[in-house]
Each structure stands twice: as structure tokens, then as C-alpha cells.
A and B are shown apart, each in its own frame.
Chain A
Amino acid sequence: MGFSDADLAAIWLTLRLAGITTVLLLIIGTPIAWWLARTRSNWKGPVGAVVALPLVLPPTVLGFYLLLAMGPNGPVGQFTQWLGIGTLPFTFWGLVVASVFYSMPFVVQPIQNAIESLGERPLEAAATLRAGPWDTFFTVVLPLARPGFFTAAILGFAHTVGEFGVVLMIGGNIPGVTRVVSVQIYDHVEALEYAEAHWLAATMVIFSFLVLLALYTLNPATRRKQA
């Protein structure tokens, strides 16, 4: 036995989706986390709640509205059509956009917590030592909040690997384009190919376990506590 070509394509697609989503989320999520960690604005609550919505929403609900928004008559869809790139549903990049929303809280919250726990003082000290805001971010915040970024990247990646409902709503089930591992497993089970389903499912279990193991043992924050 082992993996069929279709299985391998699904694995590769999943890893690519999760990788790109994680990188995008670190870029998009960091400023959001920074703002949430440091703002005194009244918008902190509403924005924080919106970011956290995917934690509690059924993925199908999220996927349904994303589908509408990105569809030909949705605002995002109108915009992408105006750009001349068509509509996003049932494409790989549609999945990426959906995954970014879906995994957002898993990236934003660890970074936000890490920045909050830094407090004002290191930033103030850096300012009195002539470091501007960007300089401070890269030479003080990033090194000191590294455990938070590490956790964010791993959780964002793992959570994207595990998504199912959103993918079905946005991407459907197009081999090599939108058929990720979780959907492939579903297909195997539908077709009563339990052995094939086992291979992929067990791989997911092992993968998830290894990811969490890495999180708990490699994370500098937990390691420091043990030392």
C-alpha cells in the first residue's frame, strides 16, 4: 500500500497552502497583534472579537460568507474581477484567502500575548537609546517575543492543515487545485476505501502530534521555564 498519486498531490497541496498561509499570516497578523496589544482605542474590543470569530464559528458559516464575498457578485469578487484575475472561489488562491481568515486568531493571539507580556519598558528603553519604531521592532520586540512568533507560526500552520469545512465551501474538491488532505480522506471514506483513509488519517495524527511535540519542547518559553 502507501500513498497514491492523488494522495501525494493532496499532501503537497496541503503543505503549500499551509506554508503560504502561515507566511501571509505572520506578515498580516503581526501588525494586527501589535495594534491589539498596545492600543487604548475603543475599537480594541470589536477588532479583537472579529479576529477571534473563527474560533467559535462553524467553518461552514465562515466559508459560506467568504464564498458570497468572493463570488462574482460579492464585493471581493467584484474587486478581483476589476483587477482582471477573475473570481477566487474554486481556486488555490481562494483557499489561501479563506485560510488566512480561518487561521487568523491562531497567529494573532500568541503574538499579541507575547507583545503584551513585554510591557512598555523595553520599548521605552530602546527609544531612549535612539532606536526608532522599526529598529525597535526588529532588534528588541522580535527577539524578545520570539516564543510567541514561534507558537503563532506552528499553530497557524497546523490549523490550516486541519481545515475542512471552509475548504469544501470555498474550494470544492478539485484534484491538485483545492483537494487538500482532509478532503481526500473524506473522499476515501465516501468511497469505502478505508485502508487508504487510514494511511492519510494516521499520517495526520502523527503530523499533529509531532507539531505539538515540537511546540512544547522546542519553544524557548517553555524550555526556559524548565531550566
Chain B
Amino acid sequence: MSSAIHARFNLHWPGFTLDVDLTLPGRGVTALFGHSGSGKTTLLRCVAGLERAPGGYLAVGGEEWQDGSHFLPTYRRSLGYVFQEASLFPHLSARGNLEYGMKRVRDAMAGSALDHAVELLGIGTLLDRRPDQLSGGERQRVAIARALALKPRLLLMDEPLAALDLKRKQEILPYLERLHDDLEIPVLYVTHSPDEVAHLADHLVLLEEGAVRAAGPLGELMTRLDLPLARDEAAESIIETVVAGHDDNYKLTYLDFRGGRFAVGRLQRKIGKPARVRIHARDVSISLKEHRDSSIVNIIAAQVQELAPLNDWQMVVRLGLGPEATVPLLARITRRSADMLELTPGKNVFAQVKSVVLAD
């Protein structure tokens, strides 16, 4: 079922308003994305019940957590919550922290599932230490395990990487990516980092000043020209592919998607495995003919769907790849090129992709 979470909240504080009505998918990672003050953390806290929004409504997987007069307190909600700072209990060891919640739910993780989570997060050797003997990244991994061990129906993460430096971020990101592939439950992930969105999110909720600007599948929202993401200097497209084969002679890996095939540097990934790639808009150029006399490897048939001016000399173009032009890809070109190629919606062109980067 696709509408596992229904949330409607109305909050009016001095200088801040939250007004959302959302239906979110019951599986995968939904990023709540926006600037600070956009209400993303408040929304997450409302879902957790840490913030009371009188008159709000919240149902998770068919179970009502809040409805008019009825408000299920946080400790009765089947959720896991990861705070921005790990917030481990300082008087308990890492193991004590992990077990604190497990003791309080009937069907917590046990046996091999628990071992798997501990191994997935790489905290097996840290369990006997106290929080003040752990690094920031280690603490956050314990905090994630502590939330997962409850086997919640919903995992809430509030900028779990924001308090960490770049090195620690890169230490945790792979764990989160593995979680993303592993988890059966929906995850709400608050972030203001486009990078984390590109790596982790399947769906996106774009928040602006306490209101939902747009919500939908990641690939679609990142390439909608009426939204700020596509107009950003670092605008990019996300495409889900599958490893189709390897060329061991040229050390290349072929990634197939519904619109064609990319060749990238040799990946250590088995054939048939999914691979998410990100393509910067500035790395995509457009030509009318399929140039065989170019060093660019990835040339894909595409259709112009929409154009929008970016500034006084650049345009951003949304292309559709594949037979029905269903896979969106952004290209940033000069206004002069757009005029010279006479680009208009519906025109068939070729996208030349200079660089394809793996994002998971």
C-alpha cells in the first residue's frame, strides 16, 4: 500500500506557522527537505508526538496516532527516533542504551536480526563503552541501532549527520545507504543537505516556511523546473539503474535504465544489482545528431520537455529519456545554444552526458 502515512498538522506559534497535509509512502526513505526554519524538524516532532499540534491528524499504517481529541503519547507510538545529536543516555553503556528500548517493547529485535543490525552499523566492538568514550560518529551509529532495535513501524531521523564533520559523515553515510536497501519500514529523514537527499531519499517533501511546496518521487521533484532544486547551481538528476554487465577489457560497467544504458568506470557490483546514479545538469550537453566522433561515451536519445531561463545567459532544460520520455534528465546550456538548436518542447535530441556518478 502506498499511502501508509497520512499527516495533517496546523501549528501557529509567534513567528512560525506549520500547515501541512501529506500522504507519504509506506516504504522507502522520504526526505523532508528545506532551509532552517522551514518547519521540517517541527513536522517530524509532530509525527513523533514530541510536539503537540492540537486538532492535527496522523495515521501510520492504518493506525491512528492522533485524531481530534485523541493523542497517543510518544512512548506508545511504534517509532524509532534518531536525534541530530546522538542523545545517548550518559549513565548507560552503549549496550545499556541499545537495550533500554528493547526491554520496553514486546517484539524487539533479538538473535540474528540484532546481530545483523549491530554488524550493519559496525558497533559490535563498542558495546561495552560509555557514550563519552565514543566518537561523534560512533555515538550516532549506536543511536541508530538503538532506534532500529525496537523494530518500529516508522523510523524518524532528524538530520542525523548534521552535527558531524565531513569525515564522520562519510563514515556514517555508507551505513545509512545499507539501511536504505535493508529496511522494510518507511523512514522520514529530515535534512537540508542535497547530497544526503541524492544518496538516501526515494521521495521528497519540499518544505518552505512551514508549508509543503511540493512532494513526490525524488527523480521527478529534482527535475521540476518550477522548483528551486532544478535551478540550483548544483542541480542534478537522479536515475535508478541496474548493473547490466562489465567490460573487463576497458574496465567499464554498463548500467541499464528505462531510457538506455550508461557506461561508467568498473564497479565492484554484481550484475542485476541496483545502482543509483546522479548526473549534474552542468555535465549534460545537447546535440541534434548522435555524434559518433566524440569522446563522450554516454550519448542517449532524448526529448525536450521543458525549458526555463536560469539567468541572463543560461537555460535549464528538462529532457525525457527512453521511448516514452519518462526518465527526466536536466541539462544546463547557454541561451545562445538553445536558440541555435531551436530547442522547443517535443523536439528529439541527444543528451551527451560527460559524467555519471554513483550515488549509493
- Contact pick for B101, options A122, A130, A132, A144, CB 8 Å: A130
CA distance A139 to B80 in the complex (A): 19
Least CB separation from B82: chain A residue: A128
Question: Is residue B79 within 8 Å, beta carbon to beta carbon, of the partner chain?
Answer: yes
A130 touches B75 (CB 8 A): yes
Structural contact, B91 and A129, CB atoms closer than 8 A: no
Q: A144, B87: Cβ atoms under 8 Å?
A: no
Count of B interface residues, CB-CB < 8 Å: 24
Q: Which residues of B contact A139 (CB under 8 A)?
A: 100
A129 touching B87 in the complex, CB below 8 Å, given contacts A124-B50, A124-B74: no
Task: Tell me, in angstroms, the Cα distance from A127 to B156 when the chains sit together.
Answer: 13
Measured between beta carbons, the chain B residues less than 8 angstroms from A140 are 89
Instruction: Give the contacting residue for A127; candidates B73, B91, B105, B146; CB below 8 A.
Output: B73
Instruction: Out of A121, A122, A131, A143, name the residue touching B75 (CB < 8 Å).
Output: A131
A130 smallest CB distance to B (angstroms): 4
In the assembled complex, the Cα of A130 lies from the Cα of B73 at a distance in Å of: 10
Is A122 a contact partner of B87 (Cβ separation < 8 A)? yes
A131 and B104: CB pair below 8 A?
A: yes
A125 located at the interface, meaning its Cβ lies under 8 Å from any Cβ of chain B in the complex: yes
Question: Is A135 among interface residues, defined by CB-CB distance under 8 A?
Answer: yes
A125 engages B87 (CB within 8 Å):
yes
Q: Which residue of B lies closest to A120 (CB)?
A: B50
Q: Which of A209-223 contact B (CB under 8 A)?
A: none
**What is the interface of chain B mostly: helix, strand, loop, or mixed?**
loop
* Residue of A with least CB distance to B108: A130
B83 pairs with A125, CB closer than 8 A: yes
In the bound assembly, the distance between CA atoms of A122 and B50 in angstroms comes to: 12
| Assembly CA distance A179 to B243 (angstroms) | 90
Q: Is the C-beta of B228 less than 8 angstroms from some C-beta in chain A? A: no
A contact residues, range:
10 to 19
B26 CB to nearest A CB, Å: 20
Query: How distant is the Cα of A131 from the Cα of B100 in the complex, in angstroms?
Result: 9
Docked Cα-Cα span, A140 to B75, in Å, equals 14
B147 touches A143 (CB 8 A): no
B91 near A121: Cβ-Cβ < 8 Å: no
Interface assignment of B217: CB less than 8 Å from any CB of chain A: no
Q: Which of A135-152 contact B (CB under 8 A)?
A: 135, 139-140, 143-144
What chain A residues lie within 8 Å of B118 (beta carbons)? Answer: none
Residues in chain A near residue B81, CB distance under 8 A = 124-125, 128
A121 and B87 form a contact (CB under 8 A): yes
Min Cβ gap A148→B in Å is: 14
Cα separation A39 to B248 with both chains bound (whole Å):
67
**Does B60 touch A at the CB level, under 8 Å?**
no
The reply to whether B74 and A135 form a contact with Cβ atoms under 8 Å apart is: no
With both chains docked as a complex, state the minimum distance between the C-beta of B104 and any C-beta of chain A, in angstroms: 4
Given contacts A121-B83, A124-B74, A144-B91, contact A129 B50 (CB under 8 A): no
**Closest beta carbon of chain A to B165's beta carbon, Å:** 21
With a CB–CB cut-off of 8 A, which chain B residues contact A122? 87, 89
Q: Bound state CA distance, A131 and B101, in angstroms? A: 8
Q: A129 and B83: CB pair below 8 A? A: no
Interface residues of B in 51-108 (CB under 8 A from A): 73-76, 79-81, 83, 85, 87-91, 100-101, 104-105
Q: Is B48 an interface residue (CB 8 A)?
A: yes
The distance in angstroms between the C-alpha atoms of A129 and B99, with both chains bound, is 10
| Closest Cβ neighbor of A139 among chain B residues | B100
Residues in A with CB closer than 8 Å to B80 are 128
CA distance A88 to B158 in the complex (A): 57
Contact check, B100 vs A128: say whether CB atoms are below 8 A apart: no
Cα separation A139 to B48 with both chains bound (whole Å): 21
Residues of B close to A144: CB separation below 8 A: 89-91
User: Are A129 and B101 within 8 A (Cβ)?
Assistant: yes
Q: Shortest CB–CB separation between residue A192 and chain B, in angstroms?
A: 55
Please measure, in the bound complex, the distance between the C-alpha atom of A188 and the C-alpha atom of B107, giving whole angstroms. 69
Instruction: Give the one of B76, B87, B105 with max A CB within 10 A.
Output: B87
Report the Cα distance A6→B91, complex, angstroms. 47
Contact check, A135 vs B104: say whether CB atoms are below 8 A apart.
yes
Which residues on the B side are within 8 Å of A126 (C-beta)?
75, 89, 100
Contact A129/B100 with A121-B87, A140-B89 known, Cβ cut-off 8 Å: yes
A125 is contacted by which of B73, B76, B79, B89 (Cβ under 8 Å)?
Answer: B89
Query: Shortest distance in angstroms between A143's beta carbon and chain B's nearest beta carbon?
Result: 5
CB distance from B211 to the nearest CB of A (A): 25
Report the minimal beta-carbon distance from B232 to chain A, rounded to whole angstroms: 33
Residues of A within 8 A of B (CB): 121-122, 124-132, 135, 139-140, 143-144
Q: Give me 15 other A-B pairs in contact (C-beta within 8 A), A122-B87, A122-B89, A129-B150 excluded.
A: A121-B85, A124-B81, A125-B83, A125-B89, A127-B74, A127-B75, A128-B50, A128-B74, A129-B146, A130-B75, A130-B104, A131-B100, A143-B91, A144-B89, A144-B90
Q: List 6 A-B contacts (CB under 8 A).
A: A124-B50, A128-B79, A128-B101, A129-B101, A130-B104, A143-B91
Could you tell me which B residues sit within 8 Å of A by CB distance? 48-50, 73-76, 79-81, 83, 85, 87-91, 100-101, 104-105, 146-147, 150
Closest 7 CB pairs of A and B: A129-B101, A128-B81, A130-B104, A127-B74, A143-B91, A125-B87, A127-B75
